[in-house]
């Protein structure tokens, strides 16, 4: 009888393996059958004139999507529109301040009036403020929340009535690893992204029953060229240098084209969450398993970041803080990305 039991174990394992294989195959077939086709879908991308937003517009345009991009910067917006239109993309560009609720309401109406519908909303607009906590004011936190949280809530709020009416839609919220782990010298940014992660996850849970799929995208640093346009406080040259080098380093940051492809895949398959990059995935897992380790590591990291004083608390743009410290062969990757992605 013992021998029979031993003989039965391999048989059981074979049945388990076969069942798992069948399940995976069935899942793959189901995913392909239910895959969202972007062709002829109307996609609104906030912050679509540069950086990640522009790269998403390029790739979605190549898939045949009809695009609406918006931004506060008219010159960059028009340049992006011309580039996309030259490639044969059906695109409209709208100058909008997404922190203004009335303008957002008009934006959604304008897109629907132009195309007759709206299928996908991608909340990509955002700002990054860099500097020590002592240099940050309440206004800095308010500005971060206005752009990184409230703007996304405004667009979602004014888009949902159209989605309910047409029987479904898709929302992609670009959050950040800074919305999972509070990074030193990025506190206003992290606070606002934590709020957006919570909003996005809650919307996913509540809206799926209405055929509205909400995807929370959690990127790590990516090479878009965006450091030029960040807001810097404290010892601005040193603050900008550490951020730009981190954003440029291939070991810490992701190529924006790869990131955009992964985001679009998450949109197509209706994924609840998409964490981009090995570093972000590892950091998220470690934070969940051993949060005290992450806190200790961040505290140590903070000791190596620049200090501040009352004399150097003025806010500057990244390109205004450029110096020898922020130049080099690695940071040149960000400079080249800035040219390609309309960040100049």
Report the C-alpha gap between 14 and 160 in whole angstroms: 48
Report the C-alpha gap between 189 and 198 in whole angstroms: 14
Cβ within 8 Å of residue 218, ≥6 positions away: 175, 176, 177, 179, 180, 197, 273, 274, 275, 276, 280, 284
CA 73 to chain centre: 20
Sheet holding 66-71, edge to edge: 91-95, 66-71, 42-46, 120-123, 169-174, 212-218, 273-275
CB 305 within 8 A of CB 242: yes
Report the C-alpha gap between 199 and 339 in whole angstroms: 33
Report the C-alpha gap between 132 and 100 in whole angstroms: 28
User: What positions carry a catalytic annotation?
Assistant: 189
What does the block give as tokens for 306? 């620049």
CA 5 to chain centre: 53
């Amino acid at each position: 009888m013992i021998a029979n039991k031993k003989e039965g174990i391999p048989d059981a394992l074979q049945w388990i393996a076969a069942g798992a294989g069948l399940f995976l195959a069935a899942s793959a077939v189901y995913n392909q059958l239910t895959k969202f086709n972007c062709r002829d879908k109307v996609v609104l991308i906030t912050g679509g004139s540069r950086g990640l937003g522009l790269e998403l517009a390029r790739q979605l345009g190549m898939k045949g999507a009809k695009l609406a991009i918006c931004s506060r910067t008219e010159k960059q917006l028009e340049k992006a529109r011309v580039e996309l239109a030259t490639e044969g993309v059906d695109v409209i560009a709208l100058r909008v301040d997404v922190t203004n609720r009335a303008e957002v309401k008009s934006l959604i109406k304008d897109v629907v009036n132009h195309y007759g519908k709206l299928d996908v909303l991608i909340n990509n607009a955002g700002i990054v403020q860099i500097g020590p906590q002592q240099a940050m004011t309440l206004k800095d936190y308010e500005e971060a929340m206005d752009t990184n949280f409230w703007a996304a809530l405004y667009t979602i709020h004014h888009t949902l009535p159209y989605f309910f009416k047409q029987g479904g839609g898709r929302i992609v919220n670009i959050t950040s690893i800074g919305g999972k782990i509070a990074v030193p010298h990025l506190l206003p940014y992290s606070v606002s992204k934590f709020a957006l992660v919570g909003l996005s996850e809650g919307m996913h849970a509540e809206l799926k029953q209405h055929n509205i799929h909400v995807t929370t995208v959690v990127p790590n640093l990516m090479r878009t060229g965006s450091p030029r346009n960040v807001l810097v406080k404290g010892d601005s040259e040193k603050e900008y240098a550490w951020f730009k080098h981190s954003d440029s380093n291939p070991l810490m940051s992701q190529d924006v084209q790869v990131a955009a492809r992964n985001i679009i895949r998450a949109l197509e398959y209706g994924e609840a969450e998409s964490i981009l990059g090995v570093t972000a995935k590892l950091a998220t897992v470690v934070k969940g398993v051993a949060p005290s380790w992450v806190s200790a590591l961040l505290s140590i990291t903070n000791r190596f970041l620049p200090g501040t004083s009352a004399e150097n608390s003025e806010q500057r743009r990244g390109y205004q803080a450029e110096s020898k410290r922020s130049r080099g062969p690695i940071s040149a990757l960000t400079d080249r990305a800035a040219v390609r992605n309309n960040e100049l």
